[in-house]
Amino acid sequence: MTTRPLVDPELVALLDQLPSIELNEAIIKQVRTMTQTQRFSDLPSFPGIEVTEHFVPGPEGAPEVRVLLYQPTTEIRPVPALLWMHGGGYVMGSPEQEDLMVKKVVSVLGCVAVSVGYRLAPETHHPGPVEDCYAALQWLHTHTSKLGVDPARIALVGSSAGGGLAAALGLLARDRGEIPLAFQLLIAPMLDDRTCIMAEPHPYTGEFIWTREANRFGWTSLLGQEPGGPDVSPYAAAARAEDLEGLPPTFINVGALDLFLEEDLEFARRLTRAGVPTEFHIYPGAYHGFRMVADAQVTQIAARDQLTALKRALRIQ
């Protein structure tokens, strides 16, 4: 059975253009190189945004963390800030891959953004990636005055594995009690390693882009062991957290054909049960990564929903 007939007609064509790659340790470096060397000559320019590279203090005993800092050049300070975590299944990706999306958000909101180049698995297992993100959050919070950022309006943003890191970072920040967070925006977040071992997986999700096989490789790479075991930390897989009280208001969206549909639904349900203000959207006909089809109506609706939520949460007129 294929779920292709359920795909939004505007999203179908991309499925024929993307190569079918089975992720494994032997090929992952090649995949990273392929994605990093892509050039996008037709991307719009954003003259009102300054982008600079920084290397901030990393976790104790670990290397510095590379970040890209996005600053609007015309806004009156202080402004809100986003700590942004890219996707890639924990095994690939870089801040550059979401450069256009970050710039669009910064341009519309007039905020600062810090995009984190966290270490990747399988070279770096948990807790390396989330601790890198926490180090970047500490740097942002410490430098709010210098950056013209309102420390009461810092939000976490992430997509896919980056959404999983954002959710885990929200838990870590809550439990350490050092840095207040105003909001977390989780785009098709990768939250639960137990999806890999479901006895009855959802029959209509996970056929395209990010499959069950890729998901197992991603989680195994991050954890350094087979997913689904009893001792997985909630700072690795946020869905493992027993207590979700005290987390910042949360926005989650996901496609109806996305492998992460049910784990995201369940996380949203549990957030509401814990008294966390939660907004959740499902987009019919949408698979994982559907926003790659930028001109599709469903992509534009999702982008609008995300911006509306950020504006409201960060008190942007």
Supply the pLDDT for residue 8: 98
The CATH topology of domain 4-19+51-313 is Rossmann fold (3.40.50)
Q: What is the pLDDT of residues 62-111, one digit of tens each?
A: 999 999 999 999 889 999 999 999 999 999 999 999 999 999 999 999 99
Structure tokens at 288: 């994982």
Phi–psi pair at 264, nearest 5 degrees = -70, -40
Phi–psi pair at 19, nearest 5 degrees = -70, 150
Q: What is the pLDDT of residues 141-163, one digit of tens each?
A: 999 999 999 999 999 999 999 99
Q: What is the pLDDT of residues 107-144, one digit of tens each?
A: 999 999 999 999 999 999 999 999 999 999 999 999 99
Structure tokens at 284: 């019919």
Cα–Cα distance, 132 to 115 (Å, whole number):
12
Q: Are 11 and 294 in contact (CB under 8 A)?
A: no
Percent of the chain with pLDDT over 70: 97
Per-domain boundaries in the chain: 4-19+51-313
In this prediction the pTM is 0.96
What beta strand segments (E) does 203-297 contain?
Answer: 250-255, 278-283
Phi–psi pair at 106, nearest 5 degrees = -60, -40
Q: What is the pLDDT of residues 3-55, one digit of tens each?
A: 999 999 999 999 999 877 788 888 888 888 876 655 444 567 899 999 999 99
DSSP conformation class of 75: P
Q: Are 251 and 275 in contact (CB under 8 A)?
A: no
Task: Give SS3 for 142.
Answer: helix
